[in-house]
Structure 1
Amino acid sequence: MTSPSGSTPAEATAFLAAHPEIEAFDIVLVDANGIGRGKIIRRHELMPLFEGGRHMPISILGLDITGEDVHETGLIWDSGDGDLRAWPIPGTLVPLHGTQPPRGQVMLSMYHLDGAPMTSDPRHALERQVQAFADKGLHPAGAFELEFFLLANERDGDGKVQPARAVLDGRHSGKTEVYSVDHLHGMEPLFSDIYAAAKLQDIPVETVISEYAPGQYELTLHYRKGILRAADDLVMLKRLVRMQARRHGVTACFMAKPIEKYAGSGMHLHVSLQDDAGTNLFSEKAGEKWAPSLLHAIGGLGATMAESMLVFAPHANSWRRFVAQSYAPVAPTWGVNNRSVALRVPAGDIKARRIEHRPSGVDANPYLVAATVLAGVGKGLEERLDPGPETTGNGYEADNAASSMPIDWRDAIEAARGSDFLKTALGEDLHRTFVAIKHAEYLRVARTVSELDYHLYLHEV
């Protein structure tokens, strides 16, 4: 049958001819948690994948963070755990850098056996939102920022994670080396491999920054005209950063808050909207302070933020990131050139006017984040929502609607469960799948007796 994803056997034929050295391929499907699940296939299996897809169990999209079945998703025994068919995502067949023997990688998306999209696949949720804008002659563009930690493989004497030593010479620094170029030199061999790997995969990685915590870094990505490809970029970049870090003897950590006394890691999404002629609808015209479309989009994102927080902060650890004065937003505020708000309009050229959506942690699924953000933008435009007054100065001290935000992970799960907006943004099937998986994860954490329990209560109560 013809691939419903748009992939063609010609792509595989050309790739195999260009890379006779490659012996195997990682085939990767991204689940609701953003985890890549799949198989490693041999070279001779690539053509059949592109010609007829690959059978995969439906349950692969109903797993918790550990890979255990979540029966409440309805994707396990309710369907007999039958096979569906995964198809390659066009443009994601790429070589992997530094593997021995040489391997490649291709990302997959899940479909029913008749070719209909499997609606619990997160990428399809984003595709559906992109298509809804396209039907109106509008085209979202964007790029993600990737913050992460490079940690030592060994814990410290207290069992805590610690920043990795420089891979160049083993030098240790426990300081916040924010924006230190010299500090980056110690990780130069690793980042050189990251850039080489990204070039092979056509991922437009640009600036590297030493961020606001020991061992924390940021990679920026060039703006994409298609936001679906921007989400693919982020998924693939996280995989290659993790792989190259491991090859250099350190751990790339994408937890939102791995070190309690320092800032956590965000995954900011920059988004704008173009019409068929390529005009940026968020750019103000002569005589306007701000474009009405920009303000309505911000209004929609602010109005839907509280019920969407489970998408932006999906794990127990995610909620440790939201601390005042930490560069993580704590309320649905907006402002201009202000990093203390949730929705920031960056300074810069009017032609590049965009919204920086700042609530998401790096542990969030970029497909779900982008789908939810687009749905919020769409709601704001359709209903012409007013974003309220701009926040100036310290957004952490602003008089705002912080009380309307979920106070913790459990509150966010319940807000998401009852959200008609989120059902529309993700689709009812994926909404059910995602909330069920998060609730199962919450129960796992809630019943676990941690070391903190012993520290607080063992000899005191």
Structure 2
Amino acid sequence: MRDWMEAIPEAARAYLEGRRLDEVECIVADIAGVARGKAMPAAKFAQQSHFYLPNSIFLQTITGDWVDDGSDFTEPDMILTPDFDTATAAPWTGDWTLQVIHNIADRDGVPVPVAPRNVLKRVVELYEAKGWRPIVAPEMEFFLVARNTDPNQPVEPPMGRSGRRAAARQAYSMSAVDEYGPVIDDIYDFAEAQGFEIDGILQEGGSGQVEMNLRHGSPVKLADEIFYFKRLIREAALRHDCFATFMAKPIQDEPGSAMHMHHSVVDRATGRNIFSDAAGAETPEFLHFIAGMQRHLPSVIAILAPYVNSYRRYVRDFAAPINLEWGVDNRTTGIRVPVSGPEARRVENRLAGMDCNPYLAIAASLACGYLGLVEKHDPAPRFTGNAYDKDPGLPHILGDALDQFATADAMREVLGRPFCRTYEAVKRVEYGEYLQVISPWEREHLLLNV
């Protein structure tokens, strides 16, 4: 570990140039995508090759409760070793700090199957075993909102530099982005310090809603960046007296926030996009990939829409897909093929919410495409009209989504059965907790009227 600084990316070395590193944050993503781990002095980090965390971090719900997934609950330690390629700055801290994502294995060196990053690696390895390399390009949507310290109060848009609340229905407006320009400036500055490349930032349709696009690349690398970006964006917002939220539907009567994923697959030997043939036409593999999406996406909606709030996003006429149709340059379909040249032919999955765990959502989406490539079914005919008029074909609530997930044998084999068992157990407990909550709507409309 003495020469570990030579193994970190150039951006991290540049951030520390001429400075003394104070602290290293050793982190992993839990089931929800929350960063867990330890912070330690840089001198101590340099003296150790690994550290330990109990495997129970993957049995914790979003509310902090613990679940029993049917395994032996003795909380054995996992061994965490640094992935130095992920080392990046934490530029919002008061001292000079690096973050490092860690690999997770058991005492025999076997990757822990319930760790979300390992789930994604497992799916990528399935592609590689077939001679393929999956490519992804994610889009991140989120809201900047006024500070909300009382959960009983509705979320409000932030106050802009004009002294007015951010306005809705201002998609692609540059003046709307300028209203909270200082937050955007810090996002850019933090991303530059961390060595991340942003492909673009724009105003979305909701009040204070922003979309940020990332360059295409390796699934694991992009999931790492989204994991880091969520923290980066939250920290930038807090500097300017507002919150950044990745809830799927934080504000009533506003659009929700998605994490659209663009997928392509290249041949590892030739580097050719297998979705296009030598003449630039669609290939059978392209159609098989889409068919896999149509056949298997319902079984992983519990991963792409992991909370009860997630299903509030699937509402007609709020710019969210509510179907499994596919079409070319058609944003009413859940599966969209953007306009591109043959070398960039890709499939966009528009179903995932931004509240997802990026490792798991990318893994689940790629798993659908993988099963399509292996099963070689044909998709439904290309849709050319307004797909909002079609039957959704999707679960409407988390409980139904979990029921479909529980019986999806092919998908559970791809993602790994130990992970699926744990994930379902965590989400069943979260859903049960929600069902015990009585909402203001119920008190208002039912207390004296029924």
Normalised by the length of structure 2, the TM-score is 0.93
Cα distance in 2 for partners of 1:371, 1:154 equals 33
Distance 2:68 2:280 in 1: 57
Q: How many residues align?
A: 445
Q: Does 1:297 align with 2:298?
A: no
Q: CA deviation at 1:139?
A: 0.4
1:445 lines up with 2:434 in the alignment = yes
Q: Which residue of 2 aligns with 1:33?
A: 32
Corresponding position of 2:415: 426
Distance 1:307 1:223 in 2: 26
Are residue 351 (structure 1) and residue 343 (structure 2) matched? yes
For residue 405 of structure 1, report the CA deviation from its aligned partner.
Answer: 2.5
Matched, 1:435 2:424: yes
Residue 182 of structure 2 aligns to a residue whose secondary structure is helix
**Equivalent of 2:53 in 51, 56, 67:** 56
Picking from 116, 119, 124, the partner of 1:125 is 119
Contact 1:422 1:431 in 2 (8 A): no
Residue type matched to 2:105 in 1? Y
**Aligned runs of 1:322-333 on 2, under 5 Å?**
322-333=314-325
Alpha-carbon distance in 1 for matches of 2:334, 2:151: 37
| Displacement of 1:63 | 0.7
Structure 2 residue 133 is the aligned partner of structure 1 residue 144: no
Q: CA deviation at 1:381?
A: 1.2
Matched with 2:65 is: 68
Query: Given that residues 280 and 342 in structure 2 are in contact (C-alpha distance below 8 angstroms), is that contact kept between their aligned partners in structure 1?
Result: no
Mapped to 2, the partners of 1:255 and 1:287 lie a distance apart of: 39
Out of 152-161 and 233-242, give the one that drifted further.
152-161
**CA offsets 1:86-123 (integer angstroms, 9 cap, x no match):** 12233211111232123221112321122110011011
Q: 2:100 aligns with which of 103, 106, 109?
A: 106
Describe the shift of the 1:394–1:448 C-alpha distance in structure 2 as closer, same or farther (beyond 3 A). Answer: same
User: Distance in 1 between the 2:301 and 2:151 partners?
Assistant: 35
Deviation at 1:11, TM superposition (A): 2.3
Please list every run of 5 or more consecutive structure 1 residues that lacks an aligned counterpart in the other structure: none
Whether the 8 Å CA contact 2:104–2:112 is kept in 1: the answer is: yes
Matched, 1:89 2:86: no
Q: 3-state SS of the aligned residue for 1:91? A: helix
Q: Is the 8 A contact 2:166 2:179 kept in 1?
A: no
Give the aligned partner of residue 406 of structure 2: 417
Q: Flag structure 2 segments of 5+ consecutive residues without an equivalent.
A: none
Q: CA offsets, 1:177-221, max 9 Å, x none?
A: 211101111222211111111122222212111101111010000
Is this contact kept in 1: 2:264–2:347, CA < 8 A?
yes
User: Following TM superposition, by how much is the alpha carbon of 1:284 offset from its aligned partner in structure 2, in angstroms?
Assistant: 4.4
Q: 1:10 to 1:397 in 2, by over 3 A?
A: same
1:405 is aligned to 394
Query: In the superposition, relative to structure 1, how do residues 284 and 164 fare at CA in structure 2: closer, same or farther (>3 Å)?
Result: farther
Query: How far apart, in 1, do the equivalents of 2:420 and 2:35 lie?
Result: 19
Aligned to 1:309, the other structure's residue is in SS state helix
Please point out which of 8, 11, 20 is paired with 2:7: 11
Q: Out of 153, 162, 166, which is 2:156 matched to?
A: 162
Superposition pairs for residues 386-405 of structure 1, below 5 Å? 386-398=378-390, 400=391, 402=392, 404-405=393-394
Distance change in 2, residues 1:88/1:193 (3 Å):
same
The match for 1:173 is 166
How far apart, CA to CA, are the structure 2 residues paired with 1:311 and 1:156? Answer: 28
Matched with 1:227 is 219
Contact 1:309 / 1:412 at 8 angstroms: preserved in 2? Answer: yes
